[in-house]
Amino acid sequence: MNDPRLKRVLQNLEKLNLEQAIITSPISIRYLTGYDVEPFERFLALVISTKREPVLFVNSLFPNAAPFAPHIVELTDTDEVIPTLLPYIASDEVLGVDQNLLCKWFLPLQDAHAAAGYQLASSILDDARAVKLPEELDKMRAASRVNDECMAWLMDHVREGVTERELANGLLQQYKLHGASGPSFSPIISFGANAADPHHKPDDTRLVSGNCVLFDVGCVLDEYCSDMTRTAFFGEPSQEFIDAYNLVLKAQKAAENMAAPGVAFSELDKTARDIITAGGYGPNFTHRLGHFIGLQDHETGDVSATNTNRIVAGNCFSIEPGIYVEGRFGIRIEDLLITTDEVCEVINHYPKELKVFN
């Protein structure tokens, strides 16, 4: 059990005026205990309380959980989950639940009058995971260093006739060679008009002269995610493309330069969006400026017009403005930033100036 993390989560629980909660997100359970399993349809939960020691509920088919929590309750596939769970929930207290608790468990809990009431409490983990400890930030830096090296490999393999799928498959091999456990999300590799789809899946499209090239990629290293986007051009880019690229780059740099502890996330989004709008591409910037990242590529928290929260030490988020012109091209430039007590540090170092392959 990671005591500093548990302490922060219990403090967040008290802020909600709750004394107990059930956590069923496998990633959040791993965050608190170090126990790493994918339960699929089986029951996995951690019950925490401000009055009692945590209890980890696992299926007997899973690996031994004894080293990871002070109290383990094992279930078999034929055990009844709710009767096993009831003795560990205070029936006279409200129970906090996370958004991952499946209805097949939640509704029977209600029917059994397990608690005095129920309250959504995902924020107790979301808020803790959004403020990363120094050792977590070091892992984010390390993952991004690997991503920088693998982005360089991608750029080195841009050539006429290569397919999106071939580069995606090669990238996955590179991640393994660099010690990563795998990608943090399915690589987005897009040529030409495909890049106008921000979430295009690599296919058998071949690279030809006159295509833009967009790489949005990330890996998982030591459990933590990286994420970066770079856009290049194969052949002779039009002046329109060059101007649009420079506009995205200007917006991206402006938002990064503005980022600092105490600045509202909504102000970063506004800064980048105003620049792109002034350049005539406002309707073509179709998504928020960024997202939080850590154990997952997309964690709770974002850089958007609606997030008026202010940056605090420990936050890690992306800055990724884009312009998408349907049927023609897409441009996105993305870095990750981590926040210390004094600054927001950009942890991607692969160059951002327009790279043209002739």
Q: What are the tokens at 156?
A: 């080195």
C-beta neighbour count of 95 within 10 angstroms: 25
Asked if the model's pLDDT at residue 1 lies above 80, the reply is no
What mean pLDDT comes out for the span 326-353?
97
* Predicted pLDDT of residue 2: 80
Q: How far apart are CA 63 and CA 306, in angstroms?
A: 42
In the predicted model, what is the mean pLDDT of the chain?
97
**Which residue pairs from 52-55 have beta carbons closer than 8 angstroms and sit at least 24 positions apart in sequence?**
52/20, 52/88, 54/1, 54/6, 55/88
Our CA angle for 235, 238, 243, nearest 5°, is 125
What mean pLDDT comes out for the span 187-196?
98
Predicted structure pTM score: 0.94
Reported as a single tens digit per residue, the pLDDT across 142-155 is 999 999 999 999 99
What mean pLDDT comes out for the span 92-108?
97
Q: How far apart are CA 325 and CA 283, in angstroms?
A: 10
Least Cα distance to 280 among 230, 327, 323, 329 occurs for: 323
Please report, rounded to a whole number, the percentage of residues in the chain having pLDDT higher than 90. 99
* Whether 130 contacts 301, CB under 8 Å: yes
Helix 265-278 / helix 239-258 crossing angle, nearest 10 deg: 160
Measure Cα distances from 21 to 10, 12, 35, 106, 120 in Å. Answer: 9, 11, 18, 13, 9
DSSP secondary structure of 23-63? E--HHHHHHHH------TTS--EEEEESSS--EEEEETTSP
Q: How far apart are CA 245 and CA 322, in angstroms?
A: 9
Q: How far apart are CA 255 and CA 287, in angstroms?
A: 15
Backbone angles phi, psi at 146, to 5 degrees: -65, -40
* Whether 275 contacts 254, CB under 8 Å: yes
Amino acid at 70: P
Q: How far apart are CA 306 and CA 145, in angstroms?
A: 31
Reported as a single tens digit per residue, the pLDDT across 259-300 is 999 999 999 999 999 999 999 999 999 999 999 999 999 999
Label residue 159 by pLDDT band (50, 70, 90).
very high
Report the range of poorest mean pLDDT among 60-64, 116-120, 173-177: 60-64
* Whether 230 contacts 254, CB under 8 Å: no
Asked if the model's pLDDT at residue 82 lies above 80, the reply is yes
* Predicted pLDDT of residue 199: 95
Q: How far apart are CA 221 and CA 149, in angstroms?
A: 13
* Whether 333 contacts 327, CB under 8 Å: no
* Predicted pLDDT of residue 358: 87
Which residues face 23 on adjacent strands?
46
* Predicted pLDDT of residue 77: 95
Q: What are the tokens at 157?
A: 């393999």
* Predicted pLDDT of residue 160: 98
Collapsing DSSP states into helix, strand and coil, what is residue 219? strand
What mean pLDDT comes out for the span 117-141?
97
Label residue 27 by pLDDT band (50, 70, 90).
very high
282 CB contacts (<8 Å, ≥6 apart)? 273, 276
